[in-house]
Amino acid sequence: MTTFEPFYEGSFRPTMGEAIFAVQHADWREEYARTIPGLHAPGAGKYVDVGEVEGTVAGFVSWQIDVAREHGEISILAVASGHRRARVGRQLCEHAMARMKNLGARIVEIGTGGDAFHAPARSLYESLGCAQIAVAVYFKEL
């Protein structure tokens, strides 16, 4: 959970304010606790690969493939704070993309935030040859 806390508590919450945070992501810890166990379901085309450095989990990549559409998607890339900027994310992405290709994917989709916290992820994805499509998401307290 500590991998996700800087975004939710340090970026999203102060940017959007308490009212929007309360509706959108107040239970982010519980949501991850519910979501993470279902990320690896090979029968449904969902996989998780874990990266280790010196016997310690450094990160993981969750990905899925739709063979009929020849489409792969990296749904979560998480790198522990002590291992960021050390090529762990790159190696996890390259590994997942190679596995997707071997299973029949011709394209891969990966998304991230447009905030400062996610700037290193955007840089990584661009360095991997991914092309960005602009998407805007807006919130307003009523």
pLDDT at position 117: 87
**Helical axes 119-127 vs 88-102, angle rounded to 10°:** 50
CA angle 92, 131, 52 (to 5 degrees): 5
* Per-residue pLDDT at 3 exceeds 90: no
Tokens standing for residue 63: 């990905």
Distance (Å, rounded) from C-alpha 69 to C-alpha 8? 33
The single-letter DSSP state of residue 92 is H
Domain ranges (residues) in the chain: 39-127
pLDDT band at 41 (very low <50, low <70, confident <90, very high): very high
pLDDT digits (tens, 9 = 90+) for 74-128: 999 999 989 998 999 999 999 999 999 999 999 999 999 888 889 999 999 999 9
pLDDT digits (tens, 9 = 90+) for 8-35: 999 999 999 999 999 999 999 999 999 9
pLDDT digits (tens, 9 = 90+) for 45-67: 999 999 999 999 999 999 999 99
Cβ within 8 Å of residue 28, ≥6 positions away: 4, 8
Fold of 39-127: Aminopeptidase (3.40.630)
pTM of the model: 0.89
Neighbour-count burial for 39-61, b at 16+ CB within 10 Å, e otherwise: beeeeebbbbbebeeeeeebbbb
Neighbours of 110 (CB within 10 A): 20
β-bridge partners, 72: 65, 108
pLDDT band at 1 (very low <50, low <70, confident <90, very high): low
pLDDT at position 23: 95
Averaged pLDDT for residues 137-142: 91
Neighbours of 92 (CB within 10 A): 24
